[in-house]
Structure 1
Amino acid sequence: MNTGRVVFVGAGPGDPKLLTIRGMESLRLADVIVYDRLANQQLLSYAKKGATLIYCGKEADHHTLPQEEINLLLIQEAQKGKYVVRLKGGDPSMFGRVGEEAQMCRDYSIPFEIVPGITSGMAAPLYAGIPLTHRDYNSSVAFVTGHLCEKNAGKEPDWAALASMETLVIYMGVKNLPRIRERLLAHGKDAHTPVALVRWGSVREQETLIGKLGTIDKEVEQARFAAPAIIIIGEVVRLRESLNWYESRPLFGQRVAVARRVSDEGNSELVIALEQLGAEVMPIPLVEHCTFDTPLTELATYRWLVFENEQQVSFFTSVLRQQRYDVRRLTSKLAVCGQRASEAFEKQGIYPDLMLDENTSLLALPDLLALEKEEQVLYAGERKPQKITLDHGKAIHVIQAGTLVWDGKELSAKKDGCSFDSLATDDVYTLSALAQFAGDAWSKTPIVCVGKETAVAAREMGWQSVSSHEDHAININELKDDRTLNDQGGGT
């Protein structure tokens, strides 16, 4: 039997960028991914095509799959020879039951690996501006689960020891907070000890509630502060007032959907700038949809092939690659409109015969190209397909070599009904695809456009709320003051 393996991966506290590199590599290799409720589903975008995704989220009093079935599922898939990733929120060893699941693998002789993650008990306080240790306040910290705080014989923690700790970090303790408060006070903890609850730490929904141990249960009830949340008890909570860096960012709480071509590698300057200002960036995967339907064998009938922009060049060269067409067979002359279109060809080792102005009129082409009797031009651009018949048998055939479209098959937050506050792009050719993604109300959706050309095109399309940043070198201060971003526009 070809036995597979199980890799337990810590997904981190919520922010998908807090995943470890090893965790990302494991997700890319996985045949099967079994994931928890607290694992950010954006991480599933790392899954390879064809991978099986299985949700086994757990909430209070409601488990999608019982723990025993999860254990059995991991074994059964690995025994089929599959590479199985068990994706757990936070760190798998911090109250994540990885010990039980790993022991099951050992019992069935299934190879396994454990990839640590950033635990929410450390990340959530830091994102709320609360370091767990500070030499002016404490030199010790204890991590404990609130699930043990029940009046069941043999399950009570050592309350006296916990009350003596300078800092307590409590997981899953919101439901049992009244009992936790009562026991700590009974064992000598000062009622004025600062307490913080951090809900949904490290993501845009993050909320922080500050109180005192003596009254914290009533404050939580009044605020209707619900799980999932981390509880921090200790003097270090006082540091939040001066160190609250995350929630004080200008765009904290904003989700901005940003156009991203599937072929792009790394993050654009726009994405980096938005994230530095505290926005949650939701990547919108866009793919090239080729509409170049002219048989390559007929290209010889055209004296000139003219390309309106670098996007049309990209579509055309993609067709050449897909059909394994040797460019040495091209007998037509090549013309491009603008420097960027020329550079797009040059990157492929092809050098155009003529570079025209970016805004060249179609009717100016016969003279600019010195067309002779019966000669034809194939013009690839963003314009409506048509045939322009000229004198002496001359003709211009206008086509679209392709368009960018929203890749609805890719996993995205929109599938889960998540809203976004605005759109953003620094690429004029993504506008139609973003409108497709935004849906019927696209024209009323606020959009941030970097580059004058992009902003002009957005307004011409009919976008009603366009914020323009003319310089392609993103100015963070401009984005910070951007009304389109700060006015909390509506999304889907």
Structure 2
Amino acid sequence: MPGFVSLVGVGPGDPGLLTLRGRRAIAAADTLLVDALVHPGVLRHARPDAEQLFVGKRGDQSSTGQEEINHMLLLRASQGRRVARLKGGDALIFGRGAEEAEFLAEHGIAFEVIPGVSAAIGATAYAGIPLTHREHSSSVALVTSRERPGRPADQGPLRAVASADTIVIFMGLRRLATDLATLIDSGRDPSTPAAIISAGTHPEQVVVTGTLADLPDRAATADVRSPALVVVGEVVRLRERLRWWDGPGLHGRRVLVARAAEQSAETADAFVDLGAAVVEIPMIRVGDPSRPEELSVALRSMAAGRYDVVAFTSANGVRRTFAALRSLGLDARAFGRARVAAVGPETARALSDSGITADAVAAEHRGVAVVDALASLPGIELAGCTVLLPRAEVASPGLSETLRARGAAVDDVPAYRTLGPSEEDRERLRDLWSSGGLDAVLLTSGSTARGIAETLGDALLPLPPGLIVASIGPTTSEVARSLGMPVHVEAAVYTLDGLRDALRDHYRQGAFAPP
């Protein structure tokens, strides 16, 4: 079977800018050739068994030469493999994608080009600088400041576009002073607004504004690093009005997500969307319960009509229950007449993904809220009601005790077991904690709090200077405090969104250190 190559532009940094077609190509690939500027989050979409080769091209400093990259593409495609060649930004804008496409065409290899969000589009948008504006710009020029190997510096292309309303210079840091002086020599007013954008669309994004005359000096005193994009034109003046990404709040804050790997991505995305630099170190793992036969017995009883209500308190409980159903040759029909309740929107989504719409959703992760949600179900009287709770092997007894106090018959059955972190993840957390490399820690459950405290031991306290501990709700906060961990921020709404909003508001109010 002939191979196939997808030349995929993955965007300038933020993995959320990957296109749907790009994601499909990555998911289908047997081999991925990955440039240095590709965000690791993009690789989440790859198959676990896919070969990943990091070819590390970054400007003129390439760890893998272009000829070698071409050979790798040819070799793997000739072996009948589907190859995804991942390139930062757009593959055909100053990315040598056209050269690779030519090479593939010359060797008879089928390929496709999947456009990506160019840095010229993405980085400027995230900086609050539009490329065009009816009152300020009706023409845009894209040029590169990078010199071609073996050729003398050539300012001709820059001079040729000097009259464009908006000029975007790729790889513009190293020759910043020379390039802007060339534009002035070519007739641009020295007071023309200009900006340089470093790490565009990343949480570490830095934007420095000035004029053609003073931007080099301003950039020299700021934390501007390559790759950097330079924008010249009146549109730069709009930044302060249109700035949305790198304002006060979570932008640039290093936030620890310590949830189990199965849930970490969703949590990380919620904070990345607001500009946080998320560090994912799972402090818990989800495993099979010690007595899996108990869940099997309960599920067979459910299929036989024993339960009036099945209540799920976590997405892990949902996933493990449905895995157990499949192992028994059963599916969603096994719920039969039982009403289904969920704690929180994340648990309800997990049910929906499995083909079940929750009859009741408790907004808060508290026993009373769950009981109230169950009591609100039409035709359900808690007194005499049979309830199945498939949840963690070690769980708070409050919910089952409250239900029994209301007269319900409760089967509290372990659907999964919460395990501690791997030794590798323990070491990562210890190193990060000791280096002071975090701004905030998210506690999404008592288990994550326990995992952090047990991993750090005596090193937990005192907290690193300026570190904020943010909790999803009072139950989790209670566990954290029992472990000696202070809680500085607690979500008013006990959901992931509530936690995100509480931490964002904390920083927006200028509370940059623990109260």
Name the SS for the 1:50 alignment partner: coil
CA distance in 2, matches of 1:188, 1:155: 18
Matched, 1:324 2:324: no
Q: Does 1:481 align with 2:485?
A: no
3-state SS of paired residue (1:458): helix
The CA RMSD over aligned residues, in Å, is: 4.7
Equivalent position of 2:484 in the other structure: 462
Return closer, same or farther for 1:89/1:438 CA change in 2, 3 Å cut-off: farther
Equivalent of 1:279 in 273, 276, 279: 276
State the distance in 2 between where 1:57 and 1:13 align. 15
* 2-structure distance, mates of 1:4, 1:415: 45
| 2:128 counterpart of 1:129 | yes
Deviations 1:146-196 (A, max 9, x none): 125999569542444322112110001211223212322222111111110
Bigger mean CA offset, 13-22 vs 283-292: 283-292
Q: How many Å separate the matches in 1 of 2:325 and 2:504?
A: 42
SS at match of 1:482: helix
CA contact (8 A) 1:169 1:233 kept: yes
- In structure 2, the CA distance between the partners of 1:39 and 1:104, relative to structure 1 (3 Å rule), is same
Distance 1:30 1:438, change over 3 A: farther
Alignment counterpart, residue 286 of structure 2, candidates 285, 288, 297:
288
Give the aligned partner of residue 146 of structure 1: 145
- Amino acid in the other structure paired with 2:22: G
The residue type paired with residue 227 of structure 1 is S
Equivalent position SS for 1:237? helix
Number of corresponding residues? 438
> 1:189 maps to what in 2?
188
Range with greater deviation from structure 2 (132-141 or 52-61): 52-61
Does the Cα contact within 8 Å between 1:32 and 1:82 map onto a contact in 2? yes
Offset at residue 293 of structure 1 (A): 4.3
* 1:95 matched residue in structure 2: 94
CA distance, structure 1, for counterparts of residue 119 and residue 179 of structure 2? 20
Deviations 1:427-457, CA, capped at 9 Å, x for gaps: 4444445557889855646432222212212
- Contact 1:30 1:48 survives alignment (8 Å): yes
Query: Matched residues, percent identical?
Result: 31
Q: Identify which of 470, 494, 500 aligns with 1:448.
A: 470
* CA distance in 2: counterparts of 1:427 and 1:71, whole angstroms: 48
Distance across 2 between alignment mates of 1:217 and 1:45: 38
Task: Quickly say closer, same or farther: Cα 1:400–1:466, change in 2 above 3 A.
Answer: farther
Q: What TM-score do the two structures reach when normalised by structure 1? A: 0.73
Q: Tell me the distance in 1 between the aligned counterparts of 2:431 and 2:31.
A: 21
Residue 156 of structure 2 aligns to a residue in which SS? coil
Any gaps of 5 or more consecutive residues in structure 2?
299-309, 332-340, 357-365, 369-383, 385-391, 398-412
The answer on 1:472 being equivalent to 2:484 is: no
* Cα deviation digits, residues 339-361 of structure 1 (max 9, x gap): 869x999x999xxxxxxx969xx
Match of 2:418 in 1: 403
Unpaired runs of at least 5, structure 1:
301-306, 328-337, 350-356, 360-368, 370-378, 385-397
CA distance in structure 1 between the partners assigned to 2:44 and 2:149 by the alignment: 39
SS for the counterpart of 2:167 is strand
Instruction: Report deviation, 1:118.
Output: 0.5
Task: Please state whether the residue corresponding to 1:26 is helix, strand or coil.
Answer: helix
Q: CA deviation at 1:488?
A: 5.8
1:142 and 1:414 mapped to 2: Cα distance? 46
Aligned position for 2:173: 174
Change (3 A) 1:145 1:37: same
User: In the TM superposition, what is the alpha-carbon distance from 1:462 to its structure 2 partner?
Assistant: 3.2
C-alpha distance in 1 between matches for 2:476 and 2:116: 40
Give the secondary structure class of the aligned counterpart of 2:161. helix
Equivalent residue, structure 1, for 2:45: 46
Do the aligned partners of 1:458 and 1:466 also contact (CA within 8 Å) in 2? no
Q: CA deviation at 1:39?
A: 0.9
Q: How does 1:384-423 map to 2 (within 5 A)?
A: 402-403=417-418, 405-406=420-421, 419-423=437-441
8 Å CA contact retained: 1:27, 1:46: yes
- Return the alpha-carbon distance in structure 2 between the equivalents of residues 71 and 414 of structure 1: 39
Deviations 1:73-109 (A, max 9, x none): 1111111111111110001011000111111111221
Distance 1:437 1:74 in 2: 43
| Cα drift, residue 220 of structure 1 | 2.9
Query: Structure 1's 310 and 89: CA in aligned 2 closer, same or farther, altered over 3 A?
Result: same
The aligned counterpart of 2:106 is: 107
Are 2:224 and 1:200 aligned?
no
Instruction: Indicate which of 359, 376, 381 corresponds to 2:394.
Output: 381
**Match status 1:78 vs 2:90:** no
Number of the residue aligned with 1:69: 68
* Alpha-carbon offset, residue 125 of structure 1: 1.6
Distance 2:110 2:430 in 1: 34
